[in-house]
Structure formats: structure tokens, C-alpha cells
Amino acid sequence: MVTGCGHKKIDFSRRLILWQLSVVLAFLFLNVVVVFSQDAQQVKGELQKANGIEKVDMLNKLAVEVWNSDRKLAYDYSVQALKGAEDIGYGHGRATAIKNMGVVKFFTGDYENAKKYYRQAYSIFDSLTDKKGMGACKHNLAYICHLQGEYQKALELYQESLQIDMELGDDEGIARSYHNIGELYYYLADYSLALKYFQDALDVFTRLDNKSKMSELIINIAAIYEMDGNIEQAIHRNQDALKIAREADNKWIEGMCLCNLGSNFIGLNEPDEALDYLIRAILVREEIDDEKGMMEGLQLIGKAFEQKDMVDKAIDYYFQSLKYSEELGDKRNTAETFTFIGMNLAYKKRYADAIQYFMQSLEIAEGIGARAEVLENYHQLAMVWSSKGNYDSASFYIQKHALLYDSISGKDIPLGLFKEEALLLDNNPLEKKIYTYRIIILIGSILLFALAVILVMVLRRK
């Protein structure tokens, strides 16, 4: 359980899992080109001797080799490959180069240009009847729709990509699709389906004995441990993943692992240790222009300062994170950050301002169907109206919270996913108050009904 600022405790670990899963899946789905284990320096040497189709293919290969460590170089290789392919009329090389340019734009947070390149590449792959390329572009487009809150569109594209992978018998593509579909269902709070798809993905990668992909899934396993309250095991898994990332010189995954470890120590209420990891994560992510990673890292730094009871500093970091999320068009993270700002304002007893931020968050969350964020905002609005002494408004949000929570928890979900909800009652007086109000409302309704029955009976006797 993560302690919030002051008198509040929130189900923060579930929220952290959403972005942890989100980030690792980007790495999974973007690796759509089969890359043979070959030293990059050797490839550069061979490049000088190559020409025509061979040279274009090598440039595209080099772009994939370096896009996790040097975005600019990866883009330059892709541009060179595109020019070479156009000069010799090599359609597949041209489509692959454009797709790779989209990947680099995605990594740097330029989603609109990434989508433009993916669509251009898809059109060329389609004209070549290259189903593998078509499936890869659909998958990449799906992921951006996913990040921008267009969940239904993302699901449709994922399913189309999965169908192509199945037709081709592409086991790695199938596993990648399973993984991303599972992550999407996680955002929609359909945890049973999310877990099914995660397990399906893990089964395929295990069958393929793909150590690289299995190691990437360590991060997801760590996230599940964190969700279940086993923080020490989550730390152990994330440290394993960090070691693998550094051995592979994968700065992107390294930054994510550092960020995850920061969130783990937040879960242990050790903000100083968390800040050590998070500041290192920010430095790595600045180095590779990872704007999404910056957004997430700054948000977690805000949380660490919350735990240190440095509320103004926490709010400052939340606003820095908010700037990135709005620029990226990341609606879910925008909603989430509005909620965190509102919580800190409520702690400062700036209730009217807090309510405005909660309502902004709620509007966005409802618009994209992010039920976990909707649930959190109902919870926070109930608490803040209760603090203002407006029990009618508090009871309104208590009831909305109860209805949505019951609709989610009524599904076939492992108990561990909701274990922290029960802990709230033991550790938070305000949570007890909310649930007390729910009981009072229920009992009051029963008493009113009974009184009405008695009055009817009395009137009939008269």
C-alpha cells in the first residue's frame, strides 16, 4: 500500500502498474523486424562495401540496432535507406525505412508524425501484398491509438494485426499482439481478460525459448508482484531486468527499470531511495529524448515528494509531468495527473480548487473509458465533499463509486488485484468514514421503507 500525502492513502500501486505495463509493451511491439545477433561495428564495415538492395537492407538493419540507444542516428540510417530504396525502386526497403522512421518518431513522442509514417508504410506493404509489414504497421498504429485513449480503435487494430500474425504462423507476432491486447484490457479494468492475454503471450515466448522477450516480461511479472503487495519480490525482478538492459546497452529499458525501482521504493514508503532511482531514470531518459518516460518519471518524483510531506514540490513536479502528457496527447496520464494535483490541493485544504481538478480528470477518464481513473475520482470527490461537510454530495459519489466498483470487482478477478482495497479500511479513517456513510445510507433507506409501510398500515386501519 502506498501512502499518499498527509491523511490520504490511495491505491497508487495499481495506477503505477498501468504505465509500467504500457511502457514495456512499446518495446515488444516495435521490434517487428527480425534482427540477427551481429555486431553493429561489423555491419558498418560491411555497409561500406555494399550497394543496391543489400545496402538498403543493411541501413534498415542498423536503424533497428541503434534506435534504443541513439535516436538521431537511427533516423539518419532510415533516411539513407529510404533514399537508396527510392533510387533503385526497391519497394520493400522503402516501406521498411518509412516504418522505421515512424518508430523513431514514436520513441521521441512525436505521435502524429509516427502515425503518418506508419500509414505510408502500410500503403506500400499493402501494394506489395506484404502481410507481415501490414500487420506490423497496424500494430504500431494500434499502440499509439491506445496511448491516446482511443481504446476501441486500438482494440480493432490489434485484433486485425493478430489475425495477420495467425495467418502467417508468426508466433512472435502472435505473442506481441497478445501482450498488447492484454495491456489494453488492463486499462479498461477488465483484469481477467488482461491476465488471460498476458499469460498467453508468456506461454508463446516460453515455447519459443526467446530469452530476450522473456526477460522483457520480467518487468510485467514485477508489476504483478507489486500489485499483489509483494514489493520485495518486485524489486528483485526489476533489478534482474535492469542488469539485462545494461548488458544489452538498451537505454530505453534501463530508464524504465530505474523508474520501476523508484516506484517500488515508493511502495515501501522509502522516498529518498525512490528519488535516487528516479533521478537516474530522468537522466537516462533525457539522454535518449524519451518524452513519455520523462512524463512518467516526473510524476513519480512528485509522488516521492508527497511522501516526504513536501506538497508544494510534489505539485510542481506533477505540473511538469502534466506538460509532457498534454503535449503527447496522453489522455489517461493527463487525467491521472489532474487527480494527483487535486489530492495535494485537498491536503492543503484548498477544496474548491481540488474539486475542479478532480472534475477535469473525471471528464477525461469517462471520455476514454478509463474505469480505474473514474473510480479513483469518485473516491476523491467523496472524500473532499465529506471534508467540506457536504454529506449529500459525498453520498452521491460514494454511491457512484460503489456501483462502479461492484461492476468491476463482480467479474472473475483474482483476489490479489483488490486486496489493497480491503487494507484501506484498516489504515485510513477517511476511508472508514466513506464506508460508514454507505452503511448509513443503506440502513436509512431500509428504515424509511419500513416507516412508509407502517404509515400505510396505520392509515388503512383508520
CATH of the domain at 299: 1.25.40.10
Q: CB under 8 Å to 415, separation ≥6 — which residues? A: none
**89 in any annotated domain:** no
Calculate the alpha carbon distances from 227 to 1, 22, 241, 263, 358 in Å.
Answer: 9, 15, 18, 12, 24
The pLDDT value given to residue 439: 52
| Phi-psi label, residue 249: left if phi above 0, alpha if psi -120 to 50, beta otherwise | left
Q: What is the pLDDT of residue 253?
A: 85
- Grid cell for residue 42: 561489423
| Pair 337, 293 in one domain | no
Contacts of 301 (CB under 8 A, 6+ apart): 262, 275, 278, 279, 282, 317
266, 293, 326 — which closes off a domain?
326
Q: Which of 294, 310, 326 is the last residue of a domain?
A: 326
Are 384 and 460 part of one and the same domain? Answer: yes
Q: Is 205 a member of any domain?
A: no
Q: Residues of the chain with pLDDT > 90: what percent?
A: 51
Q: What percent of the chain has pLDDT over 70?
A: 76
Q: Are residues 353 and 321 in the same domain?
A: no
List of the chain residues with pLDDT < 50? 1-39, 410-435
243 HSE (CA, 13 A, CB side): 8
User: 11 lies in a domain?
Assistant: no
Neighbouring C-beta atoms of residue 433, cutoff 10 Å: 16
My answer on whether 336 and 366 are in the same domain is yes
Q: Give the phi and the psi of residue 90 in degrees, each rounded to 5.
A: -95, 95
Cell of 397: 459519489
What is the structure's pLDDT at 444? 56
pLDDT of residue 114: 94
Residues 253 and 316 reside in one and the same domain: yes
What are phi and psi for residue 3, nearest 5 degrees? -80, 130
Element spanning 191, H or E = helix 191-207
Is residue 359 located within the same domain as residue 317? no
What phi and psi, each to the nearest 5 degrees, are found at residue 228? -85, 5
Please tell me the predicted confidence (pLDDT) of residue 237.
86
Whether residue 106 lies inside any domain: the answer is no
Task: Find the distance separating the first CA and the last CA of the chain, reported in whole Å.
Answer: 59
Rg of the chain in Å (alpha carbons): 25
Domain with 215, as residue range(s), is 210-326
Residues 236 and 350 both lie in one domain = no
- Asked if residue 278 and residue 340 are part of one domain, the reply reads no
pLDDT at residue 22, as a whole number:
47
Q: Which helix (H) or strand (E) holds 109?
A: none
What residues have CB less than 8 Å from 147, skipping those under 6 apart? 22, 111, 292, 328, 329, 330, 332
Residue 334 located in a structural domain:
yes
Q: Are both 392 and 317 inside the same structural domain?
A: no
Q: Judge if 439 and 418 occupy the same domain.
A: yes
d(CA 347, CA 446) in angstroms, rounded, equals 35
Model pLDDT, residue 44: 62
Same domain for 401 and 339?
yes
Asked whether residue 12 is assigned to any structural domain, the reply reads no
Whole-number mean pLDDT of the chain?
80
Same domain, 293 and 342: no
Q: Of 326, 347, 377, which residue constitutes the final position of a domain? A: 326
Q: Give me the number of domains the chain comprises.
A: 2
Question: 173 near 135, Cβ under 8 Å?
Answer: yes
